[in-house]
Structure 1
Amino acid sequence: MRQKYYLFLFLIFCSGFARQASAQDDDLLKLAEAADSTSSNASYTTGIFKGTRIITGHSVQTNAQKELVLIISHRFGTLNSGAYNFFGLDNAVMRLALEYGLTDNLNVGVGRSSYQKTFDGFLKYRFLRQQEGGWQRPVSAVLFGSAALNSLRPGDPERDVMFKSRLTYTTQLLIARKFNQNLSLQLAPTWIHRNLVPTRRDESDVYAIGLAGRHKLTKRTSFNAEYFYLLPSHTADTYTNALSLSFDIETGGHVFQLLFSNSIGMIEKNLIADNMGTWKNGDIFFGFNISRVFDLDKSRKMDKKKY
């Protein structure tokens, strides 16, 4: 079984990105909808979410083929850290990531977080699209798999942590429905496997249910919410459920997202499996995400010029 994990990690990190990015002022929502519109059949539901992420967790949205997305994520310290730390703004962690559309339905991505000096990669495959009329499909569905490597040096310099012990794997089934032009909701059953756990009482396998939604406020703004519930276990007794809220602003090719969360984690293993913050105690992290889309398909650019 673990050999499959290593093969999965190898495939993720060997995926290449090519060609220069030159898109300037494309409307991001139109680019997001491009992945939903490979067929001339207009009955497919497009733009379920504005981007591939709802806040921190993934959405059912995929990038179109040859579409590259740069994501910069930033989290400051907790608001309850006091005025001396400028209510968290003196402290910060960040993540830099690239996501690429191998096809309209298959995406690959890599990232690096300063938190725990973590490298991560993922594969994401959309196998079902919401469709009205004809063969009705009430939801869109995506399979998501990721691997994360904690490269942080151990506190004891004489302690050696094996490579395989630094790995964590995540598998999710993302199911979403766009109910109308303003409201989209998503359900995300989640399984996280940790090769190394903090104590003997901790489980290697963590199970959770993600709930998320987006409500469109204006043409270019929306309110998003995201919650991950840990199923009853020792992990659930030790850690807390992650709740995040955000306000999104689209500015032609970019999405700027202002957010508040009780989790500093920016990938699934930190967001879900080892979150310690609570809203009640003021462990609230202010942060932002910036997404920039680059369309690398020359033929698509030429088609746009014709019209």
Structure 2
Amino acid sequence: MLKTTSVLFFSLITSVALAQTDLMKQLEQADDSTVQYVAATFKGTRIINGHSIETVGKNNMDFIISHRFGAINSGAGNFFGLDESQIRLALEYGLTDRLMVGLGRSSYQKTIDLFVKYRLLRQSSGLRNVPVSVTLFASDAHNASTSTPDLPFYTITQRQTYTFQALIARKFNEKLSLQLTPTVMHRNLAQKPLDANNVYALGMGGRYKLTKRTSFNAEYWYTPKTIGGTTQRDPQYTNTLSLGFDIETGGHVFQLHLTNSRGMIEKQFLGQTTGKWSNGDIFYGFNVARTFSFDKSKKHSNGY
């Protein structure tokens, strides 16, 4: 069953990409000199927690280090959260300028995640006028932590959580970019009795460019408590709100932020966030991304 599920999972993005081939060929028949593509809708592949529409360029690899410290309201004895932390390490590689893959490992619940992103449409003007950029995303997260009464996972299949997203963004001008992210998440085994196997959510995020190398970012993930009369998640869980800044320094992108979620991947910040801003359950965190190019013929840059 696991083998079949994995094949279906990776076939999804591949099938969508192949299905778009004829359409993209037709669109690309236009003279590229009369088409202006929008660049740097976001600086990196993340807004804060969630993915942006950006993909890593062909033959380029991003190494990403993410940290989330403890809650600020944990007090001076815990150095206001800085005495503890969760970490995620990830590698993301561009197979083409449209298609990328990624692999990460989080210390939180010892979760291993892998994902695929495909850039379906690029915002452009001129002869080919496309008002938004659209990127498709699919991931598989595997909980590798030891089973406990609060975390009753027993088989490999039960430990899988799949997430599917359509990332839709528009760069309105040189300063403002906004994104909507309709999301469906499937948990083979829900953690709490009131948690549904299927969770539907909507991500809303954006950035506002402050200077040539800095921007203010914000992100909110809304998960309805019920869908069609069915409870989606245990009442202890909350929606995730994150605020932060991006700082670009050559080959590095630093993202500094405050969030009420300890988790750094979809299964965690969508379905397992317990912090509340009103209670001071705020976690300081950062992402550091470093790009390495394996294409000696040209230099790739997302721009800023």
Task: State the AA in 1 paired with 2:105.
Answer: R
- 1:127 matched to 2:131: no
Is residue 2:48 matched to residue 1:50? no
Alignment correspondent of 1:190: 183
4+ long deviations beyond 4 Å: 1-4, 8-12, 39-42
Alpha-carbon distance in 2 for matches of 1:206, 1:3: 23
| Structure 1 residues 282 and 255: alpha-carbon distance in aligned structure 2, compared to 1, 3 A threshold | same
Give the Cα–Cα distance (whole angstroms) in 1 for the partners of residues 33 and 97 of structure 2.
Answer: 14
Deviates more, 1:200-209 or 1:113-122: 200-209
Name the structure 1 match of 2:135. Answer: 142
Which residue does the alignment assign to 2:273? Answer: 275
Separation (CA, whole Å) in 1 of partners of 2:262 and 2:69: 8
**How many angstroms apart in 1 are the aligned matches of 2:129 and 2:186?**
35
1:178 and 2:171 aligned: yes
Alpha-carbon contact 1:129-1:140 (below 8 Å) kept? yes
| Range moving further from structure 2, 226-235 or 133-142 | 226-235
Aligned partners of 2:101 and 2:114 also within 8 Å? yes
1:235 aligns with 2:228: no
Distance in 1, Cα, partners of 2:298 & 2:84: 42
Q: Do the aligned partners of residues 179 and 91 (structure 1) sit closer, same or farther apart at CA in structure 2, a change above 3 Å counting?
A: same
Q: Structure 1 residues 295, 274: CA separation in 2 closer, same or farther (over 3 Å shift)?
A: same
| Equivalent position amino acid for 1:279 in 2 | W
Structure 1 unaligned runs (5+)?
13-38
Check the 8 A contact 2:59/2:295 in 1, yes or no: yes
Q: Deviations over 1:36-73 (max 9, x none)?
A: xxx66651111110011111100001111001000000
- TM-score normalised by the chain length of structure 2: 0.86
Shift of 1:201: 2.9
Query: Is 1:96 paired with 2:119?
Result: no
1:239-297 CA-to-partner distances (Å, cap 9, x unmatched) read 10000111111110101111100000100000111111110001000011100011110
Could you tell me how far apart the structure 1 residues matched to 2:194 and 2:264 are?
A: 25
1:219 aligns with 2:212: yes
Letter aligned with residue 288 of structure 2:
I
**Aligned partner of residue 222 in structure 1, secondary structure:** strand
Tell me by how many angstroms 1:142 deviates: 0.7
SS at match of 1:226: strand
Q: 1:192-251 deviations in whole A, cap 9, x for unaligned?
A: 100111233321000100000010000000000010000232235441000011111111
Q: Report the equivalent of 2:19.
A: none
Aligned to 2:297: 299
Query: Structure 1 CA distance, aligned partners of 2:84 and 2:8?
Result: 34
Shift of 1:2: 6.6
Identity across matched positions, percent: 56
State the one-letter code of the partner of 1:266: M
Deviation at 1:134, TM superposition (A): 1.3
Q: Residue 86 of structure 1: SS of its match in structure 2? A: helix
Asked whether the equivalents of residues 199 and 232 of structure 2 are also in contact (C-alpha less than 8 Å), the reply is yes
- The gaps in structure 2 that reach 5 residues or longer are 13-31
Inter-CA distance 40–76: structure 2 relative to 1 (3 Å threshold): farther
Secondary structure of the corresponding residue to residue 6 of structure 2:
helix
Partner of 2:23: none
In structure 1, give the amino acid aligned to 2:6.
Y
Partner of 1:287: 285
| Partner SS state of residue 299, structure 1 | coil
Instruction: Identify the residue that residue 7 of structure 1 maps to in structure 2.
Output: 7
Q: State the Cα distance separating 1:4 from its structure 2 match.
A: 4.7
- AA aligned to 2:290 is R
